[in-house]
Structure 1
Amino acid sequence: MAALHIWALVELHESVPGTRFSRFLDLAIAAFGPRLGKLLALFPVMYLSGGTCVMLIITGGGAMDDLFKTMCGGDGTACSIKPLDGVEWFLLFTCIAIVIAQLPDLNAIAVVSLFGAIMAISYGALIWILSVAKGRPEGVSYKPLVEVKSNEARIGSVLNAIGIIALSFRGHNRVLDIQGTLPCPSKGPMWRAVIISYSLIALCMYSLAIGGFWAYGSKIPNGGLYIAFPQFHGHDTPKLVMGLFYLLIAANCLSAFQIYAMPVFEDLELWYTGIRDRREQQWARASLRVFFGCLAFFVAVALPFLGSLAPLIGGMTSTLTFVLPCFMWLAIKRPCRRSGKWWLNVGLGWLGGVLWVVMVAAAIWVLVDRGINANFFNP
């Protein structure tokens, strides 16, 4: 289903002669008109990009903190350095991210993106290989983590998990921007790139899922292998290996921040140039990006438990992945009514819409049922 939606976006990039839709918002406006297009696409794109950047600050700042504790000890005596608190680690990560964010566009951050991809593959492979090599802890069970008491609770848990999976496809709306960096015609090269990249992603994810479940079973805590491996094997793993693990995670978060923040940067810059009615200046672009970084930092400090809301975030923004591409393809391509492609896109679009409603409802229901540790302003 996700593959068909990404295929639709790749096809739509050059669907109008003489025009390349290199932003999801531009494609939505071309398909549905200025008002409806902005209503359907602007908020989800901004919400998803901003929320992802906040989660990256939380994860990356936490990885920096863990790196320091691993190499210098909890009190910093091994390095004769006073340790930072959670807010200060978030601030350090944000400052580094803002400096890198001064690169103007996706073309300029291509090397940063490649570096981040290598870091992601490296730490993913490192964690599952070490988990399998270390062996299973005592008492590992493969029974469900929480005994479900009713069919309604079981269905809610399944839909909640689908919301988390939907969040993993949050990069789909970046396909158009990436394709815009390729020379015309771009459909062939872009589709080959999609196949190669998603093959690598599938290889990494399935290796993590299979190896991690074999190693820890139902003992995997909230946070997955990122938490499980240090918890069970951190004490008998060399300090340099653990430090490398946290360093790779922090580096990957820094590079990913640039990719997901770029739609927000572009929209802020377009808003500024529209109000000023003149070309954007270098100082204005830098100021807008610093402003967004500070805003994301504030939200990360205020809501350090945002990762617990992943099912809700994934459900609310799943329209970008599972709904809008189908109806945009119908509006722009205009296939014959009741043809095979028409039925396929209509069916997938409505199925995605129903899934969106159900996932959001399930995420809210699970949060109400299980509760959440809302540690406001206490990272």
Structure 2
Amino acid sequence: MDSSVSSPTSMLHECVPGTRFDRYIDLGRHAFGPRLGPWIVVPQQLIVEVGCDIVYMVTGGKCLKKFMEIACTNCTQLKQSYWILIFGAIHFFLSQLPNFNSVAGVSLAAAIMSLCYSSIAWVGCLARGQIQNVSYSYKKSSSSNTDLMFRVMNAVGEISFAFAGHAVCLEIQATIPSTQERPSRVPMWKGAIGAYFINAICYFPVALIGYWAFGNDVDDNVLLSLQKPPWLIASANFMVFIHVVYAMPVFDMIERMMIRRLNFPPGLPLRLLARSSYVGFTLFIGVTFPFFGDLLGFFGGFGFAPTAYFYPIGGRMINRRELEVSNDYKNISTPSELEIFNSDLVHLCYILDFDSIL
């Protein structure tokens, strides 16, 4: 989610008076109909959210491995696959938390950790200085121009992956109380502005200073390129390790399907079966394909870019029926807000639909 998505998303959460679309699939059914909506929403939502979880598995395992290498130099070093398995084992426990309110503490810790390890990353790069013979030229692994183009496209996919928050935007807004005097979109929009301001603080110094220090030899995880001071770099990797579990909407969708289609009774046994199976699946993929940078580019290009840019255009060409948004127009107070809302209305509807499936 970027700022152009956040404002219309928060408005469409309550675009029908008296109704709150707490999940993207609900908004998809309203926008595209009960039959077409889920087919538009569900596949891309799964790609986006499952892709995030797989990348997090690999990231957590790599950072845990780096932490142990620095903290215990005399210990027998395990392969990266084993560290991913250890990280996944912790997720088996965390995945049993029932809802977003239950992970409030985990989310707060993750936000603090994000600020801390990103600050450590750029400060560490700045303190280290430039490596010897640093190069900022294009780095080719072969003589083929095709290889260079694939690397460029992979980089664009990685950038798309960085803006992943829109996948749970409606679920987050559903936890905010809403009244006619103070609709939920007001605090949601303020929160989105604050979140992306903090995002900028985290992203840009790491990108600019990390590239200044290492040039085209920078690791896809810049913390892996740093060695000193050992205790600080170890701490940063451990902070990444304790980052957040992201899969709540996927859990919800799986459990709903098993209750409705397979007649499973809701409760702890269903949660244990559904969520443990999902964590096991993402863990298996993460161990099988432990390539952090390549996974970022693949899921960013295959999942995030279509939901944010390609499908809205195609959807607008196919479906031109009017959405019930008159109430939102009444509540827009300035021309600038109206302009944002008009330009992103369909964009949002689709992003809403594909990005948070259930």
TM-score by length of 2: 0.82
Corresponding residue to 1:212 among 210, 213, 217: 210
* In 1: Cα distance, 2:88 partner to 2:240 partner: 15
Count residues in correspondence. Answer: 330
Match of residue 226, structure 1, among 196, 207, 223: 223
Q: Is the 8 A contact 1:128 1:208 kept in 2?
A: yes
Matched, 1:283 2:269: yes
Cα 1:276–1:144 change in 2 (3 A) is closer
Alignment CA distance shift 1:124-1:343 (3 Å): closer
| TM value normalised by structure 1 | 0.78
Q: Which residue of 2 aligns with 1:314?
A: 300
**1:185-196 map, 5 Å:** 185-196=183-194
> Aligned residues: percent identity?
29
Aligned partner of residue 297 in structure 1, secondary structure: helix
CA distance in 1, matches of 2:211, 2:292: 25
Show structure 1 runs of 5+ residues with no match: 77-81, 353-379
> Aligned residue for 2:335?
none
C-alpha contact 1:170 1:321 (8 A) present in aligned 2:
no
2:274 partner letter: L
1:118 is matched with 112
For 1:340 and 1:151, the matched residues in 2 are separated by 41
Q: Which residue of 1 aligns with 2:354?
A: none
Structure 1 residues 51-70: Cα deviation after superposition (integer angstroms, max 9, x where no partner) = 21111111111211221121
- 1:238 equivalent to 2:232? Answer no
Which amino acid letter does the alignment assign opposite residue 64 of structure 2?
A: M
The alpha-carbon distance between structure 1 residues 245 and 269, as it changes in their structure 2 partners (threshold 3 A), is same
Match of 1:183 in 2: 177
- For the 8 Å contact 1:24–1:176, the answer to whether it is kept is yes
The answer as to 2:201 corresponding to 1:203 is: yes
d(CA) in 2 for partners of 1:330 and 1:251? Answer: 45
SS for the counterpart of 2:175 is: coil
Q: CA deviation at 1:325?
A: 6.4
The residue type paired with residue 169 of structure 1 is F
Specify which structure has the bigger relative contact order, considering alpha-carbon pairs within 8 angstroms and separated by 6 or more residues: 2
Map 1:249-288 → 2, pairs under 5 A: 249-252=240-243, 255=244, 258-259=245-246, 261-277=247-263, 279-288=265-274
List per-residue Cα deviations over 1:258-314 (Å, max 9, x = no partner): 22x111100011001102447511221122111111111111122222641422321
| CA spacing shift, 1:295–1:125, aligned 2, 3 Å | same
1:113 and 1:330 map into 2 onto residues whose CA distance is 39
Rounded Cα–Cα distance in structure 2 between residues aligned with 1:183 and 1:101: 26
1:31 aligns with 2:31: yes
Q: Which amino acid is the alignment partner of residue 343 of structure 2?
A: L
Matching residue of 1:166: 160
Deviations 1:68-121 (A, max 9, x none): 121112x51xxxxx5544333222111111211211111111111111011111
RMSD: 3.0
In structure 1, how many angstroms separate the alpha carbons of the residues matched to 2:116 and 2:224? 17
Are the aligned partners of 1:120 and 1:248 in contact in 2 as well (CA < 8 Å)?
yes
- Asked if structure 1 preserves the Cα contact closer than 8 Å seen for 2:161 and 2:300, the reply is yes
Determine whether 1:137 maps to 2:136.
no
Q: Which amino acid in the other structure matches residue 254 of structure 2?
A: L
- CA deviations on 1:198-235 (whole Å, 9 max, x unpaired) are 001011111111211222223324x1413322xxxx1x
**1:108-144 superposed Cα distances (whole Å, 9 cap, x missing partner):** 1111111101111100000110110122122123323
Q: Measure the CA separation in 2 of the matches of 1:4 and 1:119.
A: 26
Q: Which SS does the other structure have where 1:5 is aligned?
A: helix
| Structure 2 segments unaligned to the other structure (5+ residues) | 330-337, 352-358
- Alpha-carbon distance, 1:346 to partner: 8.0
* Conserved 8 A contact 1:8-1:325: no
Out of 199-208 and 87-96, give the one that drifted further: 87-96
The superposition leaves residues 311-355 of structure 1 with CA deviations (integer Å, 9 ceiling, x where unpaired) of 23212212333355685997534689xx97797348969xx9xxx
